[in-house]
Structure 1
Amino acid sequence: MSNRVLITGASGFIGYHLIEAAQKEGLEVHAAVRRSSNVSHLRTLNPVFVYPELSEKNALKKLLEEGEYTYILHAAGATRAKNSQAYNAVNADCTRLLAEAALEANIPLKRFLFMSSLAALGPVPYSDEQPITESTPPMPITSYGKSKLLAEKYLEELKELPLTTIRPTAVYGPREKDLFILFKTLNKGLDAYIGTDPQRLSFVYVKDLAEVTISALLKGQNKRNVYNISDGFAYDRYALADSFKTVTGKHPRRVHLPVGVLKLAANIMELGAAFSPVAPVVNREKVNELTAPNWYCSIEAAQRELDYRPKYSLTAGIAETWQWYISNRWL
């Protein structure tokens, strides 16, 4: 099956859109999910469901050989965990095991695509005039970013792996749940910020990310590639809320919260979650990430090698996302 792709993390926000984009390109999609995952939203896409154990290499090897996969798109990962060990176990160790299984399995593998994150590089100072590029020295500021960077290093060590790495910036769109919190807050009339320092932010609409990811999967078969992905623009800290106002006609009240207060709240939430199996929504690392000065990245490599031309401006993406939230009664 020369057009068969295994997509891990298929039940997630980005996974849904990756399946949709892959099917549009004529790929036969096998969706790797947990048996406990809610996959009702995937039924209309009708992928083939498989249930890998990502921490067991022999089982992975067997599954890959049974599927005879030409492409592997590894988008599974943890975006919230209690500590660095938990992040590394899912985001780095399982990635290494899957890649090793792919190399050892008797399959016609053409491309292994790893969905990393711009967090693996980390932000740069606001004073930097040049955007973050694929060769920017990595300085991740969160355990999540460090785990993604560790996964990249593991994959780089596998010299025979036909590897492509995608590093998306903040991703938004239908079915997204983290930035959705911001939508809810704005919808309730509050436009809140941490501190007052200027920021450069970057965003990418999920459909643009999915399209360029599948393009990267199918191109550049004879070399290794890495691409930073955004919509190509730098935004100030108010841009997302301003787009929300343009789309909805609502005018939430803008307030600035002291950084110290948020850090204190994060400390309290971390202490409160110390004996809970669930990671807190906000912790000290999250505050550092939200207040980082500059996440603006270049997409020149993807434009040059993948002919990447984002279709959605921030306002257009917010409009479509807002309508989806309304139509599906999330708001």
Structure 2
Amino acid sequence: MSKIAKKKILITGGAGFIGSNLCGYFLEDNEVICLDNFSTGHYHNIQSFLLHPNFKLIEGDIRDFETCERAVLGVDFVLHEAALGSVPRSINDPITTNEVNVSGFLNMLTAARNAGVKRFIYAASSSTYGDSEKLPKIEEVIGKPLSPYAVTKYVNELYADVFSKTYSIATIGLRYFNVFGRNQDPNGAYAAVIPKFVAQFLNHESPIINGDGNFSRDFTYIDNVIQMNELAMLSDHPEAINTVYNTAFGERTTLNELVHSLKEFLAEFDPEIATVPIVYGENRVGDIPHSLASIEKAKRLLNYAPKFSMREGLKETVKWYWETRK
């Protein structure tokens, strides 16, 4: 149950994976506005909210400033999740990625400032660490970006910092580390690895791992991300705002470990999945070898205590995909 009540919350990208989970979490006790252009979000993610008296949908694009201004009217908090994700997508189409992730972000930030929004909390990214080899990743130590997507997410942080200093709008960036869970789309060319692998296993198809499977990630279950957004809204400690936080569990898992855990959990529902072979391919351009977050800053300033380990979250996720499979 949400600790935030009787507030007006705008969630951009609210029909997407993370946005729809945030909508559902805050909806019972708050007025929730979902802004989405459905380029990557889905109506089915918010279908159950449409008749709820606290829910309002604005179908529109953050690249249109007037739409952004209309969406922020009377809003207490903005949770800005709208973006074009995916490193490969940004390599294939850097111009659109920049238009959405940079120009769209600036539109939302400016509209929020003009409307006197209390706090602007935005989805930052672990891709900002770029070529930095230091592990674990600490918020104050980053490298050079390795993809157009990473450039755009770093520019978001720079704009947020400038706006907080110049216009006194409170901002908090959450650097998401490989988020997974319910509502994550397994389809399309840019599907994330966990839903993609799950879908392949369910069809008894071999998942293809890029490289030898020893690349590692700090996979982060959606409920931990919801917790971080809520804590970012609640905190009034001066040191806790106008900064960025790693949003992760704080452990790393190799792709080999991931795929074997998926087989283990899915085989409980369909024993044949245990026999599906794994295929290995080439490394993907723009991928960093290893990712592991330090969550000490979030623990210290936001009292963050992630409730789900990677395997606990994965078990919940597999169950959700099995129950909602078509």
TM bucket normalised to smaller:
0.7 to 0.9
The equivalent position to 1:144 in structure 2, one of 149, 152, 168, is 149
| Equivalence for 1:27 | 30
Query: How far does residue 3 in structure 1 lie from its aligned partner after superposition?
Result: 0.9
Aligned to 1:97: 107
For residue 258 of structure 1, report the CA deviation from its aligned partner: 4.3
1:208 — aligned with what? 224
Relative to the length of structure 1, the TM-score reads: 0.80
Q: Deviation at 1:77?
A: 0.6
Q: How far is 1:185 from its partner?
A: 3.0
Partners of 2:293 and 2:229 in 1: CA distance: 17
Alignment-derived partner of residue 257 in structure 1: 281
Q: Which amino acid is 2:152 matched to? A: S
Conservation of the 8 A alpha-carbon contact between 2:225 and 2:247: yes
Counterpart amino acid of residue 31 in structure 2:
E
Q: TM-score, normalised by structure 2?
A: 0.82
- Residues 33 and 71, structure 2, Cα contact 8 Å, conserved in 1: no
- Which of 156, 171, 179 pairs up with 2:161? 156
**Counterpart in 2 of 1:269?**
none
Structure 1 segments (4+ residues) deviating >6 Å? none
Say if 2:177 and 2:220, in contact at 8 Å, map to a contact too.
yes
| Match in the other structure for 1:43 | 47
Residue 311 of structure 1 aligns to a residue in which SS?
coil
Shift of 1:151: 1.8
Pick closer, same or farther for the CA change 1:62–1:197 going to 2, 3 Å: closer
Cα root mean square deviation, aligned: 2.4
2:130 is equivalent to residue 122 of structure 1:
yes
CA distance in structure 2 between the aligned counterparts of 1:104 and 1:140, rounded to whole angstroms: 31
Structure 2, gaps ≥5 residues long = 186-190, 268-273
C-alpha deviation, 1:212, in angstroms: 1.5
Q: Distance in 2 between matches of 1:34 and 1:197?
A: 35
- 1:32 and 1:218 map into 2 onto residues whose CA distance is 22
The whole-number CA distance in structure 2 between the counterparts of 1:35 and 1:137 is 32
- Per-residue deviation at 1:94? 0.9
Say if 1:255 and 1:44 are closer, same or farther in 2 by CA, change over 3 A.
closer
Is the contact made by 1:162 and 1:221 (CA closer than 8 Å) also made in structure 2? no
Structure 1 gaps of 5+ residues are 260-286
Match of 2:9 among 1, 5, 9: 5
**2:280 matches 1:301:** no
1:181 aligns with 2:196: yes
Does the aligned pair in 1 maintain the 2:6–2:31 contact within 8 Å?
no
The offset of 1:191, in angstroms, is 4.8
Asked if residue 112 in structure 1 is aligned to residue 142 in structure 2, the reply is no
One-letter identity of the residue aligned with 1:116: A
Conservation of the 8 A alpha-carbon contact between 1:124 and 1:293:
no
**Aligned match of 1:226:** 244
In structure 2, how many angstroms separate the alpha carbons of the residues matched to 1:299 and 1:213? 14
Percent identity between the two aligned chains: 23
Q: Hey, what does 1:267 align to over in structure 2?
A: none
